Structure 1
Amino acid sequence: MIDIIPDIPRLYTAIAEWMACIVYIIILKRRINGWQLVTVAGGALVFQSIFLMVTRDLPIVFWIPSMLVAVGMMFLFIYICCDITPTEAGYFGVKAFVAAELVAALQWQVHFYWWSSSDSNLTLEILLLIVMYVGAFLLIWQLEKNLIPDEGRLNIMQRELWSTVVIGAAVFFISNLSFVSESTPFSGQYAREIFNIRTLVNVGGFAILFAYHVQINEIRVRHELEAVQKILQNQYAQYQQSKESIELINYKYHDLKNQIIALRAEEDPEKRNVYLTEMENDIKSFEAQNKTGNNVLDTLLASKNMYCIKNGITLTCVADGTLLNDMDVVDICTIFGNALDNAIEYEQQFENPEKRLIHVSLFAQKGFVMIRFENYFEGKLKLEGDLPATTKKDSYFHGYGLKSIQYTVQKYDGIVNVDNKDNWFELKILIPIKT
């Protein structure tokens, strides 16, 4: 009985697998576009179709290896077209395969229902194929697109990949079991029953993978929020520590000033006068430095400047801190702390001190508070969404500093913009002034 059941034409399967890959390529971040993407996609469709057609009449023992090769071709297609890791390409390759199996099985079941006992009409057959494939994959695209971050990556881990592989393999095995053997407890005995089993199992498998994908996305968002919250707490803690340290330093400088006054009253050698004058000038320079009109900002800038001096980085600042008087202390720490930390970390890679340059400016412009961080920059700026991609190897646990700045600025209806030109990286923040 198994031999008389008409299986899905291999060409139909190839088209379904290709269209499923296209759905995920569209919603993921691509590494190729335009005619290059069209050429690769066209080649993938040709190779997928030829391979499945050539392997159509192979003995049943080669069936599983042939399907593994087909899945591998889907993986390569997605990986070549998208700017994602091999792990992520494998994850979405399995999802695309299960989606293809579902759409192909559903279309063929409807086809078999209409034309099982009568001659089919080629025109109607092609029309049914187009309508069902396009409609089904548009629905899948609509479901999946909202679950992918703006930067087009989900940071899939190895454990998530293998969980998806196990689910996909189980769905494929159970859905096609009746086509291999009818003498198992899970096999169907009649053609329509077998088709029902395959379609329903594929629906269930796709639903499981979709739910798993939702869970992964929720975990990613929760992890991101926790990381941002930790950054906020760390920045505020640094501010408190810096405030205490700088207050102590101010006391010490005040004592030094009194000592200098006392020393000047004595008859000292000329060289000591010169030395004491230099000390006094340094104190005046310190006192005048980072007096922006906002105590929180003063503390942060003084702390970061001390670190920069110690590490051979030139930090300059022109800021009207009074513009931040209505901003929460934690938010000031988040914006300025993270921006300066990122700039300092980047500048430390340069051995030449003349390249270790950071400039901060804060001023009002046309009804907006403008906050601008600039630092010397070499190389090409790579963006993920609206923000620069992290240069850390472990991107899953890094890159949240700028995101926390973005979240904080959005609280004040502001925007964050990044740019680089003439060897300068610029982080620009615009916040409307409330009237």
Structure 2
Amino acid sequence: MNDVLPDIPRLYTALAEWLACIVYISVLKKRPCGWKLITFAGGFLIVQFGYMVMTKDLPIAFWIPTMLVAIGMMFFLIYISSDITVLEAGYLSIRAFVAAELVASFEWQVYNFYFAGAKSDVVYELFLLSFIFGLSFLLIRLLEKRHIPEEGRLNIRHRELWSTVVIGLAVFGISNLSFVTSRTPFSGEYAQDILNIRTLVDLGGFSILFAYHIQLNGFRLRHELEAVQNILQNQYIQYQQSKESIDIINYKYHDLKNQIIALRAEEDADKRNEYLTMMENEIKFYEAQFKTGNHVLDTVLASKNIYCIKNSITLTCVADGTMLNGIDIIDICTIFGNALDNAIEYEQQIKEEDKRLIHVSVFAQKGFLMIRFENYFEGELKLEGDLPVTTKENSYYHGYGLKSIRYAVQKYGGVVNVDQKDNWFELKILIPKLV
């Protein structure tokens, strides 16, 4: 090279990598909080500084292993500090590393433009460092916060992680190629050329990763929307099928009841009375037992109650169904169908049948419509965002039932809340009273 080009000070690199991690940690759900997080992160910065100082004079052959260890340290900091999966931590570590490379390269390029070949004042140098690092990472945080889900879950899979790793490696390799050799079509020979190449490649890499992240976010949102729409449609289809089935059952119920009356008018025998009594008790299971004042709610409750009876679950309801008359049929099916399905699914896991209890309430409270679902609950309720932590093997599809309830409720300006009181799980829905 014709120009002498000092590389980025290693303490600057360590600081950039640490700040990049902090940016992503700040928009995620934390594991340690408050002073614990501050103490841990501050201590980790000292470790990163120490690591960079100790590896300063290693031969060029150790350059790649050194960078891999640095990325591993970033992964450790993000994973320990945030409530995310290993795949999500790996994905964010690569993005944080590329962001750190970009900011550090940009700051060093600006520094060399103004102070190359001249002895700079330490105060000016630190001011430039603080200004560029502070402004750059603040901008990155503002960009990232808009595209990170509120619950902090990215649902990254192996394919998306490895795609990010490949992009990150390509960006790092090309941006630093000139520091290894100038004899390639992608290398520069002069100091300013090398700085330009590194900064522009890092900027392009960060932009590609950011665009890929937005695309993944779009896929996730579309998948979630499709899943919720399927749940809405399935609940409505279940309602239609249940309505037809219950109508047929009720017709059969009245037919059998008339037959029993006719049989009783004939000569009685003890065995016949016993048989008729047994028939009468059995067909009571198929009578629509809920009369709330809303035929849609009655149908949903009746169909779910038949399933509960078959599975030794006690379903009770105290509801003024007339308060739901302003709510669309599909939304009633969505709210009550999904809430009861979730409660029934949990109660089936309870071994003691006398504890399999579900209660539904619909009533007015201070000018609001209150819908409350309660079911017997063992253990401690843990929330992931505002949703209960799933016990299902495939957590990728977790929470769509509750999300569909929330979407339906929000149409009427309502809110959804989950809570635990002693051994009862509560799902409460509050909607401004409908006129």
TM-score by length of 1: 0.97
Q: Which residue of 1 aligns with 2:312?
A: 312
TM-aligned CA distance change 1:242 to 1:223, over 3 Å = same
Larger CA deviation: 317-326 vs 145-154: 317-326
Q: Which residue of 2 aligns with 1:267?
A: 267
Q: Deviations over 1:36-57 (max 9, x none)?
A: 2122212211111111111111
TM-aligned CA distance change 1:285 to 1:86, over 3 Å = closer
Q: 5+ unaligned residues in a row in structure 2: which ranges? A: none
- What CA distance in whole angstroms lies between the structure 1 residues aligned with 2:58 and 2:106? 25
Task: Please state how far the C-alpha of 1:114 moved relative to its aligned partner.
Answer: 1.3
Q: Which residue of 2 aligns with 1:27?
A: 27
TM-aligned CA distance change 1:430 to 1:409, over 3 Å = same
Q: Which residue of 2 aligns with 1:218?
A: 218
Task: Please state how far the C-alpha of 1:386 moved relative to its aligned partner.
Answer: 2.3
- Asked whether the 8 Å contact 2:288–2:298 carries over to 1, the reply is no
Q: Deviations over 1:111-142 (max 9, x none)?
A: 11111021011111111111111111000000
Q: Which residue of 2 aligns with 1:354?
A: 354
Task: Please state how far the C-alpha of 1:180 moved relative to its aligned partner.
Answer: 0.9
Task: Please state how far the C-alpha of 1:286 moved relative to its aligned partner.
Answer: 5.9
Q: Which residue of 2 aligns with 1:103?
A: 103
Task: Please state how far the C-alpha of 1:270 moved relative to its aligned partner.
Answer: 3.8
Q: Which residue of 2 aligns with 1:258?
A: 258
CA RMSD of aligned residues (A): 1.5
Task: Please state how far the C-alpha of 1:282 moved relative to its aligned partner.
Answer: 6.2
TM-aligned CA distance change 1:3 to 1:347, over 3 Å = farther
Alignment map for 1:254-403 (pairs within 5 Å): 254-270=254-270, 272-273=272-273, 276-277=276-277, 279-280=279-280, 287=287, 289-403=289-403
TM-aligned CA distance change 1:423 to 1:117, over 3 Å = same
Alignment map for 1:113-152 (pairs within 5 Å): 113-152=113-152
- What CA distance in whole angstroms lies between the structure 2 residues aligned with 1:393 and 1:93? 26
- What CA distance in whole angstroms lies between the structure 2 residues aligned with 1:407 and 1:314? 28
Q: Which residue of 1 aligns with 2:234?
A: 234
- Paired residues in the alignment total 435
- Asked whether the 8 Å contact 1:369–1:432 carries over to 2, the reply is yes
Q: 5+ unaligned residues in a row in structure 1: which ranges? A: none
- What CA distance in whole angstroms lies between the structure 2 residues aligned with 1:25 and 1:257? 67
Q: Deviations over 1:22-76 (max 9, x none)?
A: 0000101111112221222122111111111111111111000100000001001
Residue identity matched to 1:231: I
Residue identity matched to 1:321: G
- Asked whether the 8 Å contact 1:2–1:182 carries over to 2, the reply is no
TM-aligned CA distance change 1:209 to 1:288, over 3 Å = closer
Task: Please state how far the C-alpha of 1:280 moved relative to its aligned partner.
Answer: 4.2
- What CA distance in whole angstroms lies between the structure 1 residues aligned with 2:86 and 2:287? 55
Larger CA deviation: 23-32 vs 378-387: 378-387
- What CA distance in whole angstroms lies between the structure 1 residues aligned with 2:185 and 2:176? 13
Q: Which residue of 1 aligns with 2:249?
A: 249
- Asked whether the 8 Å contact 2:288–2:302 carries over to 1, the reply is no
Task: Please state how far the C-alpha of 1:171 moved relative to its aligned partner.
Answer: 0.6
**Following TM superposition, where does structure 1 have runs of at least 4 consecutive aligned residues deviating by more than 4 angstroms?**
277-288
Secondary structure of the residue aligned to 2:417 is strand
TM-score by length of 2: 0.97
- What CA distance in whole angstroms lies between the structure 1 residues aligned with 2:160 and 2:44? 26
- Asked whether the 8 Å contact 2:285–2:306 carries over to 1, the reply is no
Q: Deviations over 1:402-422 (max 9, x none)?
A: 000000000111111111011
Residue identity matched to 2:361: S
Residue identity matched to 1:298: D
Larger CA deviation: 349-358 vs 86-95: 349-358
Task: Please state how far the C-alpha of 1:274 moved relative to its aligned partner.
Answer: 5.2
- Asked whether the 8 Å contact 1:23–1:137 carries over to 2, the reply is yes
- Asked whether the 8 Å contact 2:91–2:164 carries over to 1, the reply is yes
Q: Deviations over 1:207-257 (max 9, x none)?
A: 111111111111110000000000011111111111121111111111111
- Asked whether the 8 Å contact 1:2–1:179 carries over to 2, the reply is no
Secondary structure of the residue aligned to 2:200 is helix
Task: Please state how far the C-alpha of 1:324 moved relative to its aligned partner.
Answer: 1.3
- What CA distance in whole angstroms lies between the structure 1 residues aligned with 2:35 and 2:252? 68
Task: Please state how far the C-alpha of 1:287 moved relative to its aligned partner.
Answer: 4.4
- What CA distance in whole angstroms lies between the structure 2 residues aligned with 1:245 and 1:133? 67
